[in-house]
Amino acid sequence: MSTARWTCCRWTSGACSIWGASGRGCASCAHLEEDAGKLLHEVPGGGALDGSIVDLNRAGTPLLEIVTEPDFRSSSACVSFARLLRTTCRFLGVTEGVMQRGHMRFEPNINCRIRLRDGREIATPIVEIKNLNSFRALGDAIEHELREQPKRWLADGVEMGPGAKTTRGWDAERGVTVVQREKEDAHDYRYFPDPDLPTVTVDEAWRERVRGTLPELPLARMDRYAAEAGASGAEAGALVEERGTAELYDAIVDRLVDDGRARSDVARPAANLLLQHGMKLANARGVAVHALGFSAGQAAGIVVMRADGDIAAAALDELLEACCGDSNADPREIAEARGLLIVRDTAQLGRWCDEVIAEQPDVAQQVRDGKVQAVGRLIGAVMARAGGSADAKEAAGDAAGAVGRRLARPRAHRSPPIRGAAGCLDSKRRFYWRWRRLLGSLVRRGRFSVVPAARVRDCRIRNPG
Counting DSSP H helices and E strands in the chain, the numbers are: 17, 13
- Residues comprising the chain, all counted: 465
Cα–Cα distance measured from residue 262 to residue 253, given in angstroms and rounded to the nearest whole number: 9
Cα–Cα distance measured from residue 375 to residue 361, given in angstroms and rounded to the nearest whole number: 12
Q: Do 379 and 451 reside in the same domain of the chain? A: yes
Q: Do 354 and 453 reside in the same domain of the chain? A: yes
Q: Do 248 and 292 reside in the same domain of the chain? A: yes
Q: Do 249 and 154 reside in the same domain of the chain? A: no
Specify whether the CB–CB gap between 51 and 5 falls below 8 A.
no
Q: Do 360 and 331 reside in the same domain of the chain? A: no
DSSP string for 243-290: HHHHHHHHHHHHHHHHTT--HHHHHHHHHHIIIIIIHHHHHHHTS-GG
Q: What is the pTM of this model?
A: 0.69
Q: Is residue 2 part of a domain?
A: no
Listed residues 309, 337, 365: the one ending a domain = 337
Cα–Cα distance measured from residue 146 to residue 252, given in angstroms and rounded to the nearest whole number: 45
Q: Is residue 219 part of a domain?
A: no
Q: Do 113 and 142 reside in the same domain of the chain? A: yes
Cα–Cα distance measured from residue 331 to residue 323, given in angstroms and rounded to the nearest whole number: 7
Q: Do 412 and 325 reside in the same domain of the chain? A: no
Q: Is residue 51 part of a domain?
A: no
Predicted pLDDT of residue 425: 46
Listed residues 158, 192, 226: the one ending a domain = 192
Q: Do 119 and 180 reside in the same domain of the chain? A: yes
Cα–Cα distance measured from residue 23 to residue 21, given in angstroms and rounded to the nearest whole number: 7
Predicted pLDDT of residue 22: 53
List the domain range (segments joined by +) for residue 367: 346-459
Q: Do 369 and 445 reside in the same domain of the chain? A: yes
* Residue ranges of E strands in 37-150: 38-42, 48-55, 62-68, 109-110, 113-115, 121-123, 127-129
Predicted pLDDT of residue 140: 96
Q: Is residue 157 part of a domain?
A: yes
Q: Do 363 and 423 reside in the same domain of the chain? A: yes
> How many domains would you assign to the chain?
3
Q: Is residue 149 part of a domain?
A: yes
Q: Is residue 235 part of a domain?
A: no
Q: Own/partner pairs for 83-86, CB < 8 Å, 24+ apart?
A: 83/18, 83/19, 83/135, 83/237, 84/11, 84/18, 84/218, 84/219
Predicted pLDDT of residue 10: 47
The model's pLDDT over 91-108, given as tens digits with 9 standing for 90+, comes to 998 889 898 888 899 999
Q: Nearest Cα to 33, choosing from 268, 191, 244?
A: 191
Q: Do 368 and 319 reside in the same domain of the chain? A: no
Residue segments in the chain with a per-residue pLDDT below the cut of 70: 1-28, 183-189, 343-345, 386-465
Q: Is residue 212 part of a domain?
A: no
Q: Do 390 and 330 reside in the same domain of the chain? A: no
Q: Is residue 271 part of a domain?
A: yes
Specify whether the CB–CB gap between 78 and 108 falls below 8 A.
yes
